[in-house]
Amino acid sequence: MLRRIEEAKTRAEDDLRAVADLKKIEAWRIAHLGKKSAVMEALRGLPALSLEERKQAGARANEVKTLLEEAYRQKLESLKEAELAAAIASESLDVTLPGHPFALGRLHPTTQAVAEVCQVFAAMGFEVVEGPEVESEYYNFEALNIPRDHPARDMWATLWVDQSIAQSDQRVLLRTHTSPMQIRTMEERRPPVRAVFPGKVYRYEATDATHEWMFHQVEGLAIDTGITMADLKGTLYEFARRLFGADRKARFRCDYFPFVEPGVEMAIDCFACKGAGCRLCKGSGWIEILGAGMVHPEVLRRMGCDPETHSGFAFGMGVERIPMLRYGVEDIRHFYSNDFRFLRKF
């Protein structure tokens, strides 16, 4: 029995020295300290021995068991330390290497265009004013010379807000243009006024390559004494030169808008073909960029201004049209598709 115990001890120590990782040491523990190990088998065989042999064999078996358990504990700790050291070595940081760059976000192309337009007019003395996107019928239509029975209402396909949640006596809608801010601004201050009004506008219409139900506008207003059509043309011509290039030409043609009289549409010579005619300008050599006109006398009266002493001009443009023209974007829906392949170009 004593010889078997010693052989088991020697075999266990030899096997332990050969263990090199945590998976193998667990197998060693089961083989040499488990219920079916040689030491445990020796302890179970003690009742078959004489009393004297039992004392000697039992004492030695317990002693060997204790020695092997301690050897197991020390080996386990050393293997864990070795594994930790290897993990630390593999994940060590070389502080002399350059850091990982963080991807930086960019402004949306429409936001960039709105900011650029506003900066051009700010440099000419216009302030930038923003207002509510949910408007009353009065500010969106009636104050702008468009009563309920006016045929010009057909020019705007309107998104109305549920009157039960509007909390207003007036019918409420998602604004169809940023022109209501012209009225709101003139209610709060007296002339002279020079301001531009950027923001989102909404139209209840089907979307296609050139139409969206939500898009951005920048409208402008200048009210003072002695303002003429020459001031309107000079301001917008300077805007076109600063935004599209110093060699731009401008053309003004008569157009109709209910809140201006006379009204004009402004076009610039095509910067792709220099006026020769191409697909961008549809062969005309000109690209329409905005509508404008002298503020209607009736609108001036609603603003609290005497049209006999004050005059002014107003203008408005769809902002998405600017990057579409500049970069040859053929479908306005790309701006709101959230396609990173498109947005990264800007």
Neighbours of 274 (CB within 10 A): 12
Residue 262 three-state SS? strand
Active site residue 260: yes
Give dist(CA 346, CA 320) in Å, integer.
Answer: 13
Q: Please identify which of the residues 12, 57, 156, 218 carries the catalytic annotation.
A: 156
Give dist(CA 110, CA 335) in Å, integer.
Answer: 7
Active site residue 230: no
Distance from the first to the final alpha carbon of the chain: 86
Give dist(CA 293, CA 304) in Å, integer.
Answer: 19
- Residue 159 is which amino acid? L
Per-residue pLDDT at 133: 93
Per-residue pLDDT at 296: 93
- Name the token pair of 222: 């200048």
pLDDT in tens, the chain (346 residues): 777 777 778 888 888 888 888 878 888 878 877 777 777 777 666 676 667 776 777 777 778 788 888 888 888 888 888 888 888 877 777 778 887 888 788 889 999 999 999 999 999 999 999 999 999 988 988 888 888 887 777 777 888 887 766 566 778 889 999 999 999 998 888 889 999 999 999 988 888 887 889 999 999 999 999 999 999 999 999 999 998 888 888 999 999 888 899 999 999 888 777 777 777 677 888 888 899 999 999 989 888 888 999 999 999 999 998 888 888 888 888 998 888 888 888 8
Per-residue pLDDT at 238: 94
Give dist(CA 98, CA 245) in Å, integer.
Answer: 41
Active site residue 134: no
Per-residue pLDDT at 219: 95
Question: Parallel, antiparallel, or unpaired: how do β-strands 127-128 and 250-255 relate?
Answer: unpaired
Q: Please identify which of the residues 64, 314, 319, 329 carries the catalytic annotation.
A: 314
Reported as half-sphere exposure (CB side, CA atoms, 13 A), residue 197 has a value of 25
Give dist(CA 315, CA 236) in Å, integer.
Answer: 9
Q: Please identify which of the residues 203, 216, 321, 334 carries the catalytic annotation.
A: 203
Locate all alpha helices (DSSP H) within the chain, ordered by sequence. Answer: 2-18, 22-33, 38-44, 51-90, 109-123, 137-140, 163-166, 180-188, 229-244, 297-302, 321-327, 340-343
Q: Please identify which of the residues 217, 222, 264, 299 carries the catalytic annotation.
A: 217
Q: Please identify which of the residues 260, 264, 299, 329 carries the catalytic annotation.
A: 260
On whether the CB atoms of residues 202 and 213 are closer than 8 A, the answer is: yes
Helix (H) / strand (E) element for 263: namely strand 260-269
Q: Please identify which of the residues 32, 175, 177, 194 carries the catalytic annotation.
A: 177
Active site residue 160: no
Per-residue pLDDT at 46: 66
Cα–Cα nearest to 244, from 261, 264, 221, 268: 268
Residue 198 three-state SS? strand
pLDDT in tens, 311-337: 999 999 999 988 888 888 888 889 988
pLDDT in tens, 4-41: 777 778 888 888 888 888 878 888 878 877 777 777 77
Per-residue pLDDT at 168: 64
